[in-house]
Amino acid sequence: MNKNIIKSLSTVFCIGTYILSYTANAAPFEVLHWWTEPGELQSKQVLVDHLKIKNIEFEDFAIVGGGGDGAIHVLQMRALSGTPPEAAQIKGPDITEWDKLSMLVSIDKLVDTRAWTNFLPEVVINDVSVDNKYMGVPINIHRVNWLWLNTKIFKRFGLAAPTTWKQFFTVADFIQAKGIKPLSMGGTPWQDALLFESIAISVLGPDNYIKAFVYFDNSVINSAAMVEAFKLFKRLHRYTSIAQQGQDWFWASQSFINDQAAMFFMGDWVKGSWTAAGKEALKDYRCVPAPGTEEVFSYNIDSFVLFKKVNTDVEQTNQKVFVNTLISPEFQIDFSKAKGSIPARQNVDLSSFDACSKQSAYDFDHKIKVPSFTQNMATSSHQQGQIIQLISDYFNSESLSAEEAVQQLDVMVKALTSK
């Protein structure tokens, strides 16, 4: 055959291969998630748009409910009935649990992940790996131990950001005396537990927090320091409004940003909803670490897993494109700017990010990293769910003492860890 024909045939072949590996088939790609609040919706749209460019038609499988408890239950039912979606927002130790059921696609077998160690931090790699193999695709990092301060209210009274719990109570009492709600708070158990988590980090210290909530070490769980953490937690109850039971974090974030409350404890996904409403870091709100936790970064890494399906070429191509899109710096930057997080990838240009994300990135590099147990980073969701419920019941009970709550926690944890 003529050399030129061979050359042009191989060029056609190469272009064909290129198109095949970078363009997906427009079959719907169903993705389970719980991003249903305004900021989350905007960030989900970033995902939809980035996939669309690559010819992936995002099919929305959204389950309302911050924190994802409802979503995980629906996913379990779908998986049991043999019809899981193509991908789902699964995080932390739950990735291992799903992998044990042999339902997940191994990301290493799908795409070349060898370069990932060059740009993913170790804590992120460990979070999405099972036995040193990638089983999830990490997209971003949220910081959970934030205290948000309403700029207008703090400026009006010339208040300084509290860095200790003592200062926090002084500021909260002052604000309450002025007839303003000191603390905004939603009405679901995980939001109560999120506040407790920051208090536990501060009272127990990062090492003992990890011992208690990652390793379920009873010597820390059943300790005087844990009782102290529960007592401190309860002292904050009087500053919260009586949130309607079941009220999601978005509504609590609204009363804070609309100047009806001075402070708010929440992970930085909340910033996404304020950005969506045109609010700006520093001008409208400030971010400081929760009192007593300035040396700690409590992390929450969003990631997706892929479910094994019929395994056709089209499906595999779509899965590859999905993974390669999610791990790309372009997507991770656009997504995190909308979500309030920082990209999971390191060494990306954060110059266009707001001051809180920049601080988050700095602190992620320089502070002690602990997994957020309320955000599925420390234990699997079935263990975490019961602990969260107990913490919330204690917070809202008028009769349960801190000592009793700690005893119940001790018994619960023993039962959860006994085989």
Could you list the residues that contact ligand GAL (CB under 6 A)? Answer: 34-35, 40, 66-68, 142, 269, 300, 302, 375
d(C-alpha 255, C-alpha 269), whole Å: 16
Cβ 166 to ligand GAL, closest distance in Å?
30
Q: Hey, what's the torsion of the CAs at 358, 359, 364, 368, to 10 degrees?
A: 180
Nearer to ligand GAL, 28 or 70 (CB): 70
Other Cβ atoms within 10 Å of 119 Cβ, number = 16
Q: Residue 60: exposed, middle, or buried by beta-carbon count in 10 A (0-12, 13-18, 19+)?
A: middle
Q: Whole-angstrom Cα distance, residue 372 to residue 144?
A: 7
Distance, CA of 300 to CA of 302 (rounded, Å): 7
Nearer to ligand GAL, 271 or 286 (CB): 271
CB of 269 to ligand GAL, least distance (A): 4
177: Cβ contacts below 8 Å, ≥ 6 apart:
none
d(CA 90, CA 106): 14
The residue number whose beta carbon is nearest to ligand GAL equals 66
Q: Is the dihedral of CA 261, 265, 269, 275 positive or negative?
A: positive
Closest CB to ligand GAL among residues 284, 302 = 302
For ligand GAL, which is the closer residue by CB, 36 or 408?
36
Q: Which is nearer to ligand GAL, 240 or 300 (CB)?
A: 300
Query: Which residue matches tokens 């990293």?
Result: 369
Measured CA to CA, the distance from residue 367 to residue 213 in angstroms comes to 19
- In whole angstroms, how close is the CB of 372 to ligand GAL at the nearest point? 9
Query: 3-class DSSP state for residue 228?
Result: helix
Nearer to ligand GAL, 67 or 205 (CB): 67
Q: Least Å distance between CB 9 and ligand GAL? A: 48
